[in-house]
Amino acid sequence: PHTSWTDVICEGPDKNRPKLVFVNRSLTLENIKCYGFDMDYTLAVYKSPEYESLGFELLRDRLVSMGYPHEVLGYMYDPTFPTRGLVYDTTYGNLLKIDSNGNILVCTHGFEYLRGSVADCYCSVDEYYPNKFIQRDDTNRFYVLNTLFNLPETYLYACLVDFFTKSSRYKNCMKGFKHGDLFMSHRSMFQDIRDAMDYLHDTGTLKERTLKNLDKYVIKDPRLPVLLSRIKEVAKVFLATNSDFNYTEKWLVTNPKKLWRSYFDLVVVDTKKPLFFAGGTVLRQVDTDTGKLRIGTYTGNLQHGTVYSGGSSDIVCDLLDVRGKDILYVGDHIFGDILKSKKRQGWKTFLVVPELVKELHVWADKASMFEELKHLDIFLAELYQHLDSGSQECPDISAIQNRIKMVTYGMDLCYGKMGSLLRCGSTKTLFASQLLRYADIYSTTCLNLLNYPFSYLFRAPLVLLPHEAAVESQTKEQITELSEHVLKTSSIKV
Amino acid sequence: PHTSWTDVICEGPDKNRPKLVFVNRSLTLENIKCYGFDMDYTLAVYKSPEYESLGFELLRDRLVSMGYPHEVLGYMYDPTFPTRGLVYDTTYGNLLKIDSNGNILVCTHGFEYLRGSVADCYCSVDEYYPNKFIQRDDTNRFYVLNTLFNLPETYLYACLVDFFTKSSRYKNCMKGFKHGDLFMSHRSMFQDIRDAMDYLHDTGTLKERTLKNLDKYVIKDPRLPVLLSRIKEVAKVFLATNSDFNYTEKWLVTNPKKLWRSYFDLVVVDTKKPLFFAGGTVLRQVDTDTGKLRIGTYTGNLQHGTVYSGGSSDIVCDLLDVRGKDILYVGDHIFGDILKSKKRQGWKTFLVVPELVKELHVWADKASMFEELKHLDIFLAELYQHLDSGSQECPDISAIQNRIKMVTYGMDLCYGKMGSLLRCGSTKTLFASQLLRYADIYSTTCLNLLNYPFSYLFRAPLVLLPHEAAVESQTKEQITELSEHVLKTSSIKV
Amino acid sequence: PHTSWTDVICEGPDKNRPKLVFVNRSLTLENIKCYGFDMDYTLAVYKSPEYESLGFELLRDRLVSMGYPHEVLGYMYDPTFPTRGLVYDTTYGNLLKIDSNGNILVCTHGFEYLRGSVADCYCSVDEYYPNKFIQRDDTNRFYVLNTLFNLPETYLYACLVDFFTKSSRYKNCMKGFKHGDLFMSHRSMFQDIRDAMDYLHDTGTLKERTLKNLDKYVIKDPRLPVLLSRIKEVAKVFLATNSDFNYTEKWLVTNPKKLWRSYFDLVVVDTKKPLFFAGGTVLRQVDTDTGKLRIGTYTGNLQHGTVYSGGSSDIVCDLLDVRGKDILYVGDHIFGDILKSKKRQGWKTFLVVPELVKELHVWADKASMFEELKHLDIFLAELYQHLDSGSQECPDISAIQNRIKMVTYGMDLCYGKMGSLLRCGSTKTLFASQLLRYADIYSTTCLNLLNYPFSYLFRAPLVLLPHEAAVESQTKEQITELSEHVLKTSSIKV
Amino acid sequence: PHTSWTDVICEGPDKNRPKLVFVNRSLTLENIKCYGFDMDYTLAVYKSPEYESLGFELLRDRLVSMGYPHEVLGYMYDPTFPTRGLVYDTTYGNLLKIDSNGNILVCTHGFEYLRGSVADCYCSVDEYYPNKFIQRDDTNRFYVLNTLFNLPETYLYACLVDFFTKSSRYKNCMKGFKHGDLFMSHRSMFQDIRDAMDYLHDTGTLKERTLKNLDKYVIKDPRLPVLLSRIKEVAKVFLATNSDFNYTEKWLVTNPKKLWRSYFDLVVVDTKKPLFFAGGTVLRQVDTDTGKLRIGTYTGNLQHGTVYSGGSSDIVCDLLDVRGKDILYVGDHIFGDILKSKKRQGWKTFLVVPELVKELHVWADKASMFEELKHLDIFLAELYQHLDSGSQECPDISAIQNRIKMVTYGMDLCYGKMGSLLRCGSTKTLFASQLLRYADIYSTTCLNLLNYPFSYLFRAPLVLLPHEAAVESQTKEQITELSEHVLKTSSIKV
């Protein structure tokens, strides 16, 4: 019988885990002299949605303890709602899905989807964004929820807007909610959630709860030590994490067979990425017995098993005696790990995208929907065949356009309530653009490197530019039709 | 008999002119309420290479009159050398072709191509750029030669480096050339050429010479008034040019049948793009009899045939009563016209790329070379089929890699000495990345809009992400092979 | 018998406390509609040097617990060493006393004073600063120790440099100290002390210790409630402090007779000055029972006794319905309180300078030294009387110059080891320049406002410009002499 | 008989020229190893008001040729109106005299003086500036007219506002004037004047007219070669001017006895100050025969008589082998010459202030008015003698305050319609603050250096801080009175 796509790239006990590494830019693995790893969500993988739920609940409870109404406790994390990479508009409290140019693809207010020009209320996208466009540079107003750590927060923004919108005690305004003399601005709620988030991280509350129940929240994969050991035989290996030493130490104890530090030539904690890829900070040695920083800066040769704090990407290159282009850095943070290491230092980059498991499944399952989109396209093209700029005739395409919208929306829903991480119909998200631009290769997990020899040459698919594709991908028939169309319409009388 | 591709998209008397408009992002022409045009190289098209030669000679002569050696007069413009979008390194005097991340694709010093690690002299890319990478943000050091106006200048940088390198009077140094007490730094030569360029523009020397011999330098196309007339029937039209009124007036007299201003609802000169798309300047009325600015600012309703100076994109929207997303702006400057109008204002954009004529021809002619590249890829993939990260075996791929390099280089040369504007083998240039990112549609000329009805729906080709393509584009056989490969290699013993 | 100056401006039980408010710019108290106060060191006054000693010890102990050698515990706070307003050079570890233009007046390395061109070692000012000048704008390198809270830190910088310089285990380098593979850079020690400082504040360690022993560390002055009550009768009063609510609450319990909040029309905590005077933050209400922030923003009318958190100076003006020029703001922080409120908002300013007690005493006591400086000046002037630019004669003034240096140094030592807060001989410090420029009035304590009626007109002394003084202050005799000098010397033969 | 002050510091044929150099910060001339000079208004001194009148007329005529009404030609330059250092508010068209903190001292709209809260029209300072204060940092709005070259421009701003305000054709608005559909915004008029100014300088119109009639516009002083020759015997001398070579050459021909370049060790033209004191530009050699730049950069030793273009202050130090603190730089531009050389490079500075001639005369003549101010002060002080913060009594001081205002206004008018360059009553202007802060010494002309031997020690007057003055300058009687006052008022009952 026919093998489905999931059978092709997965197998055995973990049937749901795709095995491939995908390539945006060709990369000769043989030339890589050094592998670097981020820790959280890269080596230390959290169980989803358990971990997000934990984060959400801690965050929600913190807000209530800060004075938010007790009704908010009623909200539970819904993993089908948030998608990574959304943008929060701190002025209007909307969650936006945008493309790389700032065009708005999806806009929600609470759990309500806002549509184009709806005349009856101010709850239309037009009312908020008449140009359906935001100036993404205005980082004071727009906050990009880039990381997997942001997912609980993303959902909580929606919950709060939902609660206050529906609560009869509060009056809805454009910039927030009013209750007597009290004004709950979206900006102040944003600040409260950000503060609560910082509180959870600074006090270690989230980490503490995670460590208490490691089995529930963390995936232990016996293949990780295998991967690190194999890499260490052929290249240098380092860890560069923003986490502190104690958390790093505790987490990596999950691989008890061998002292975890022995897998790395260099371990750097407290890296303060993205600052790490620019000026960086002072490099300190960590006393691995006490977890405290040693005073002064270590200046001798690299000693195996030593742990450092701070530093910069330049210092890492010096200590390991490698150049940026010889490093493959593996991380999950599109901005802090991938964009910055690529743009500032010219490192090779491997983005870990756990959501790909789902993205690939939906894509394979819903191939027919995408096929339909393609056919609708060809059908549309044919309608205009005999027309040019002088034509008065105007084909009625509203039915096709509606169908395209319906199919697109249908595809979106297969991914979750905010749609795919990477696209909205045929349009790519900001996240997808950054993935294409800054990640040389990407996969669901770094463990998939196990499936390739260290001499492998990852070759990027030859993506054609539209004009090249116009030549290349047309079948003879299509070319002939097109030819006829153009011949007919280009005889302009001046 | 079979029609070749060039027959398909061209025809009749101007066989060499491709007719299509290409699409990066879907665009419903029916929704466009306003068309905006840049003038130079968009409406006013210059003959190539005659116009570039003129620019080069004026520039070269100016330098000699500034004190550069008379031998420099011996250089003539070679249209096969420069490609638009190169980056000049003012520190080392190299011309660089880079990708969007700053990786160096081609590097020339004078007319000499620099290669990777060559041990015998300092003329290797490694010596200059050990990481084969530049920090593109360092605009103080790296100057992007973005526009068609930059082509003569691009070639002159190469000429000067060539001259001084070969001259026995000068000693070669990393940062310039030495002759007795005199040091010709690359930076000072860069400054001299930029100053000479400004001189040509500020004094109007170039424009004067152009106007004197319009037939030689400017393409008159009778279809332009047709296009503008047709557009004006269905939408608003404006012109926004950085040129001053007098030059605009003189140039557009080339269409004598009708007062050119009557084709536009609004004409704005001295726009100072890209500033025009940010804060802009004060809007003034131009006295069309004298060409002088009127004092004060006009505040009444839009009057037909009035010419304005300065202003901003916001003012244009106000005067014409349109929103950014309803405007299609047609221009040739990737940064000043396209990137800025898109990123800051959310306008729809149409990039004019005259080089596409050649790009398309080469692409169609050399289809076989690209096919070979694809086959080499598949061949490479097969070599690694039975291997994973545990394999000791390392296939010898040097022969294939050499062949890939040769084919890539061969393709490059078909475009010109610095290769294609858009790619280097399978890698896209910075220019191509910006074209993909910021131009909704693009074509060789804006006249190609004539070939489409105003109700047209430009639909972007459905470009798949690599992981989607992995599912989609594989034939069943390839999938099966891949499946076998992965199945074999993923049985890891821990 | 003759009353000394200290008798004049002090009296009774607190003989040592000067009573006057000094005036830099005229100020009509009658026009002031609103008085604002900072808390720490303005209303809440700490006992010196007890409080600085406490800070020093906590800081020192923290460093040792971070890994600094135990010998450091041997250092005790010496109140005669540090002066406020010094600049720490994080590159070389020097403490610098500078004037407003960045000229170096005093330079110490540890406890050692560095002098001009000394040939035998690198410990001369010239070696570090060949131009005896620093670019003060380089805030990444130079850290200004502006506040009274910085005093313990200032002393600790000197202690660490002293310790490592003298320790035989460490080798002295320009940028730090070396011990085996360990390099103690001045920059890393600076970072350590700053981190320790933040630790003391963030964890509340210092505040906790202060509250435990209020009598030891805090001055209770029964005149404070009198002042606040009297002001409240004639104007609005607010408190704007960077401290949090709990500390503010606890500290102000020291005035138990009345609920402290009732003295103020408006209390704002967590102000984040200097940000408070620019954009500010969201204004929140504080729940005075729990100390927690209320959610949302209060928008109603000002309610007496309400405590707010955050906000901005603009919000304060709105809530109290006053304009910037009608506010007199009293604070001790030259940058965060005085410079910013003056420069950004045009507020009237009152700088509290506790050190003035000592400055005034020394000045009065050492009047004879200053008199000697003046006489030396007149003596110098006479030496040049008969000379002009054509003269070959060159008076030997080295003896006088030496005497001037000795007297200056002698005066300096009367103030403390780093000299006066405000001057070095006849040169004013950066701090003095800022005091003159940004503080309208200043005094040792805000309580001195008690000595003036609320209708008072503080008139600035009429400070003459040098050319005005040349006319004004010369006695007839001096003018005559000068006249003769100029007459004699200005008959130039051309 | 008694000699008046003007007799004291002037003499002989040029009775009106004060001879002294005034001192802000002590300066040992003997230590100066290098003297630098700006050219315009420093070495090349223009006749006032002839030169300003010429500038004004050219500027005015240019505006009319740009389209401004012909009535504007009726305005003639009035040297008694403008004062240097005023600030132009491009939003409201007002000329402001401010102090260093941005407080408004004088405000004019056209030729009309705006006063405080006047109820009947919007022409009161309060209407424009409710806080009587501007944020000087907002350089986009406020333009400081810092140089002597700005004087004609300053007057023209007032003329235009005067004209349009009075013209019956135009309607007055806050931000400009309206005439039918035309709006003359203050901002656009500002832009027009700035453009016209640039036109005069760029086309060389002003310089051409100056050179045509040198005797009318330029002061030839035979003492200048004497000064330069004498300096050259004892120190290095350089010229650093923003003018180009040709103008510099032509101007200095006014001293025909000797080739002017021989007076200098180094001549640098096109310096682009203030950029010269930061990064600077490429240093080029000037071909003194043709006036053209030589290509390349000269790297050999300093050759006498060579003229350079561009460069930076660092290069000057290198070429002349001196350190910043060994240079005395003499210039007339408070920002470009003095502030920048002092703040960025630590140079010693000599500010040339031609207006001092008048300032000194007025000061000497009107000594009695200043005396009256002082007596009014003492009188005021006595009124408050027996009062403290508890007093209900409130002395009526309105009569005295009015008298103070009248005397201040009277003094102001003696200087000119906008008052003194340096003060407004007892308040110092922004210009005076900058003079005090950044100029070590200052005088009406650099020629006054002739009156001092090169071994001179310029000693700054010992300016006391207000609290020091409180001790020092009081006579015994005053102290006693004060003592009584304080004793009486400080017995507070708590």
* Residue ranges of domains in chain B, CATH in brackets: 16-45+225-353+421-481 (3.40.50.1000), 49-214 (no CATH)
Q: How many angstroms separate the CA atoms of D154 and D157, rounded? A: 5
Q: How many angstroms separate the CA atoms of D61 and D74, rounded? A: 10
Q: What is the largest CA-CA distance in chain A?
A: 87
Q: Could you tell me which residues are beta bridge partners of residue A307?
A: A267, A286
Asked whether the beta carbons of residue D486 and residue C389 sit closer than 8 angstroms, the reply is no
Asked whether the beta carbons of residue B452 and residue A227 sit closer than 8 angstroms, the reply is no
State the pLDDT at residue B258. 72
> What average pLDDT score do residues B214-242 get?
92
> What average pLDDT score do residues A463-476 get?
71
Sign of CA pseudo-dihedral C295, C301, C307, C309: positive
Asked whether the beta carbons of residue D296 and residue B184 sit closer than 8 angstroms, the reply is yes
Coil, helix or strand for B415? helix
> What average pLDDT score do residues C391-412 get?
84
Over residues D274-290, the pLDDT tens digits come to 999 988 888 888 988 88
Residues of A in contact with C281 (CB under 8 A): 191
Q: Please, are residues B301 and B309 in contact by the beta-carbon 8 Å criterion?
A: no
Residues of D in contact with C461 (CB under 8 A): 466, 469, 473
Res. A53 pLDDT band, cuts 50 70 90: very high
Are chains C and D in touch, 3+ Cβ pairs below 8 Å? yes
Sign of CA pseudo-dihedral C313, C314, C317, C319: negative
Asked whether the beta carbons of residue B67 and residue D292 sit closer than 8 angstroms, the reply is yes
Amino acid at position C215, single letter = D
What's the Cα-to-Cα distance from C391 to each of C488, C489, D29, D324, D455, rounded to whole Å? 12, 9, 14, 26, 9
Over 70: is that where the pLDDT of D34 sits? yes
Over residues A89-133, the pLDDT tens digits come to 999 999 999 999 999 999 999 999 997 644 444 468 888 999 999
Q: How many angstroms separate the CA atoms of B362 and B356, rounded? A: 10
Asked whether the beta carbons of residue A181 and residue C284 sit closer than 8 angstroms, the reply is no
Chain B interface includes D384 (CB < 8 A): no
Task: Select the more confidently predicted residue: D417 or C259.
Answer: D417
Res. B453 pLDDT band, cuts 50 70 90: very high
- Retrieve residue A85's tokens: 């990479």
Chain D interface includes C113 (CB < 8 A): no
Phi-psi region of A258 (alpha: psi -120 to 50; beta: other; left: phi over 0): beta
Q: How many Å lie between the alpha carbon of D309 and the closest alpha carbon of chain B?
A: 12
> What average pLDDT score do residues D73-92 get?
96
Residues of A in contact with B225 (CB under 8 A): 494
Listed range (C485-494, D146-155, D450-459) with the worst mean pLDDT: C485-494
Q: How many angstroms separate the CA atoms of A429 and A427, rounded? A: 7
Tell me the residue ranges of DSSP E strands in A77-175.
Answer: 87-89, 94-98, 104-109, 112-113, 142-144, 171-173
Query: What whole-number percentage of chain C has pLDDT above 70?
Result: 89
Res. D123 pLDDT band, cuts 50 70 90: low
Asked whether the beta carbons of residue C452 and residue D133 sit closer than 8 angstroms, the reply is no
What number of CA atoms fall less than 13 Å from residue C217's CA on the CB side? 18
Alpha helices in C222-275 (DSSP H): 223-234, 245-252
> What average pLDDT score do residues C369-389 get?
82
Q: Please, are residues B429 and B102 in contact by the beta-carbon 8 Å criterion?
A: no
Distance of CA A145 to the CA centre of its chain: 9
β-strands C104-109, C94-98: how paired? Answer: antiparallel
Classify each residue of B404-426 as buried b or exposed e, where b means 16 or more C-beta atoms within 10 Å of its C-beta. beebbeebbeebbbbbbbbbbbb
Q: Which residues of B line the annotated binding site for Mg(2+)?
A: 38, 332
- Retrieve residue D159's tokens: 């003329």
Q: How many Å lie between the alpha carbon of A343 and the closest alpha carbon of chain B?
A: 6
Q: Please, are residues A388 and B451 in contact by the beta-carbon 8 Å criterion?
A: yes
Over 90: is that where the pLDDT of C412 sits? no
Interaxial angle between packed helices B205-212 and B50-65, expressed in degrees from 0 to 180 and rounded to the nearest 10? 140
β-strands C182-185, C176-179: how paired? Answer: antiparallel
Over 50: is that where the pLDDT of B12 sits? no
Chain B interface includes A302 (CB < 8 A): no
State the pLDDT at residue D17. 56
Report the candidate in D299, D267, D304, D257 with the shortest Cα–Cα distance to residue D282: D299
Res. A487 pLDDT band, cuts 50 70 90: very low
Over 80: is that where the pLDDT of B479 sits? no
Chains touching B (3+ CB pairs < 8 Å)? A, D
- Retrieve residue C87's tokens: 């600049």
**Average pLDDT value for chain A:** 86
Q: Please, are residues B184 and B177 in contact by the beta-carbon 8 Å criterion?
A: yes
Return all residues near D82 (Cβ < 8 A) that are at least 6 apart: D145, D151, D154, D155, D158, D416, D418
Chains touching A (3+ CB pairs < 8 Å)? B, C
State the pLDDT at residue B279. 83
User: Of C14, C40, C99, C440, which residue is the catalytic one?
Assistant: C40
State the pLDDT at residue C254. 58
Asked whether the beta carbons of residue D297 and residue B188 sit closer than 8 angstroms, the reply is yes
Q: How many Å lie between the alpha carbon of D15 and the closest alpha carbon of chain C?
A: 12
Query: What whole-number percentage of chain B has pLDDT above 70?
Result: 89
Residue of A5, A7, A8 to mutate when probing chain B, most B C-beta within 10 A: A8
Listed range (A183-197, B285-299, B372-386, D444-458) with the worst mean pLDDT: B372-386
Residues 68-107 of chain A whose Cβ lies under 8 A from any Cβ of chain B? 100-103
Task: Tokens 């920048």: give the residue.
Answer: D340
> What average pLDDT score do residues B465-485 get?
58
Query: What whole-number percentage of chain A has pLDDT above 70?
Result: 89
> What average pLDDT score do residues C373-387 get?
81
How buried is residue D467: exposed, middle or buried, by Cβ count under 10 Å (0-12/13-18/19+)?
buried
The minimal CB distance from A297 to the residues C188, C282, C293 is found for C188
Task: Tokens 């991967």: give the residue.
Answer: A227
Res. A163 pLDDT band, cuts 50 70 90: very high
Q: Please, are residues A285 and A293 in contact by the beta-carbon 8 Å criterion?
A: yes
Asked whether the beta carbons of residue C297 and residue A184 sit closer than 8 angstroms, the reply is yes
Coil, helix or strand for B4? coil
Residues of D serving a catalytic function are 38, 40
Phi, psi dihedrals of residue C251, rounded to the nearest 5°: -65, -45
Q: How many angstroms separate the CA atoms of C452 and C449, rounded? A: 6
Chain D interface includes C397 (CB < 8 A): yes
Q: How many angstroms separate the CA atoms of A94 and D330, rounded? A: 60
Over residues A406-459, the pLDDT tens digits come to 888 888 888 989 999 998 887 899 999 999 999 999 999 999 999 999 989 898
Res. B257 pLDDT band, cuts 50 70 90: low
State the pLDDT at residue A274. 93
Report the candidate in A61, A58, A60, A55 with the shortest Cα–Cα distance to residue A79: A55
Over residues C139-193, the pLDDT tens digits come to 999 999 999 999 999 999 999 999 999 999 999 999 999 988 889 999 999 999 9
Asked whether the beta carbons of residue C67 and residue A284 sit closer than 8 angstroms, the reply is no
> What average pLDDT score do residues D407-412 get?
86
> What is the DSSP secondary structure assignment for residue A337, as one 8-state letter?
I
State the pLDDT at residue A364. 84
Over 70: is that where the pLDDT of C483 sits? no
Query: What whole-number percentage of chain C has pLDDT above 90?
Result: 57
State the pLDDT at residue A255. 58
Listed range (A281-285, C153-157, D325-329) with the worst mean pLDDT: A281-285
Q: CB neighbours (10 Å) of residue D1?
A: 3
Over 70: is that where the pLDDT of B123 sits? no
State the pLDDT at residue B60. 97
State the pLDDT at residue D116. 64
- Retrieve residue C383's tokens: 């030496």
State the pLDDT at residue A257. 62
Task: Tokens 């007299």: give the residue.
Answer: B253
State the pLDDT at residue A256. 60
Phi, psi dihedrals of residue C30, rounded to the nearest 5°: -60, -30
Q: How many angstroms separate the CA atoms of B281 and B266, rounded? A: 17
Q: How many Å lie between the alpha carbon of D316 and the closest alpha carbon of chain C?
A: 15
Amino acid at position C414, single letter = C
Residues of D in contact with C343 (CB under 8 A): 101-102, 135, 137
Q: Please, are residues D333 and B217 in contact by the beta-carbon 8 Å criterion?
A: no
Task: Select the more confidently predicted residue: A291 or B145.
Answer: B145
**Average pLDDT value for chain C:** 86
Q: Please, are residues D99 and D433 in contact by the beta-carbon 8 Å criterion?
A: yes
Chain A interface includes C66 (CB < 8 A): yes
Asked whether the beta carbons of residue A463 and residue B462 sit closer than 8 angstroms, the reply is no
Chain D interface includes B297 (CB < 8 A): yes
Amino acid at position B141, single letter = R
**Average pLDDT value for chain D:** 86
Q: How many angstroms separate the CA atoms of B353 and B442, rounded? A: 7
Q: Please, are residues B336 and B272 in contact by the beta-carbon 8 Å criterion?
A: no
Q: How many angstroms separate the CA atoms of B332 and B435, rounded? A: 11
Over residues C296-307, the pLDDT tens digits come to 887 777 777 789
Q: How many angstroms separate the CA atoms of B483 and B87, rounded? A: 44
Residue pairs spanning B and D at CB distance below 8 A: 81
Return all residues near A1 (Cβ < 8 A) that are at least 6 apart: none
Chain A interface includes C399 (CB < 8 A): no
- Retrieve residue B406's tokens: 């040769």
Q: Is A326 annotated as a binding residue?
A: no
Phi, psi dihedrals of residue B218, rounded to the nearest 5°: -120, 140
Report the candidate in B313, B350, B356 with the shortest Cα–Cα distance to residue B329: B350
Over 90: is that where the pLDDT of B439 sits? yes
Interaxial angle between packed helices B186-202 and B50-65, expressed in degrees from 0 to 180 and rounded to the nearest 10? 110
Res. D480 pLDDT band, cuts 50 70 90: very low
Chain C interface includes A490 (CB < 8 A): no
Q: How many Å lie between the alpha carbon of A313 and the closest alpha carbon of chain C?
A: 18
> What average pLDDT score do residues D390-401 get?
83
> What average pLDDT score do residues D400-417 get?
86
State the pLDDT at residue C118. 43
Q: CB neighbours (10 Å) of residue A48?
A: 18
Res. D93 pLDDT band, cuts 50 70 90: very high
Phi, psi dihedrals of residue C426, rounded to the nearest 5°: -95, 0
Residues of D in contact with B182 (CB under 8 A): 294, 296-299
Over residues A208-254, the pLDDT tens digits come to 999 899 889 988 888 999 999 999 999 999 999 999 998 888 876 65
Chain A interface includes C294 (CB < 8 A): yes
Asked whether the beta carbons of residue B459 and residue A225 sit closer than 8 angstroms, the reply is no
Asked whether the beta carbons of residue C466 and residue D100 sit closer than 8 angstroms, the reply is no
Residues of B in contact with D287 (CB under 8 A): 67
Over residues A6-30, the pLDDT tens digits come to 333 333 334 445 789 999 998 999 9
Residues of D in contact with B68 (CB under 8 A): 295
Residue of D285, D295, D299, D309 to mutate when probing chain B, most B C-beta within 10 A: D295
> What average pLDDT score do residues C29-44 get?
94
- Retrieve residue A487's tokens: 């011949």
Res. B116 pLDDT band, cuts 50 70 90: low
Q: Please, are residues B48 and B354 in contact by the beta-carbon 8 Å criterion?
A: yes
Res. D251 pLDDT band, cuts 50 70 90: confident
What's the Cα-to-Cα distance from D42 to each of B429, D327, D439, D454, rounded to whole Å? 54, 16, 14, 20
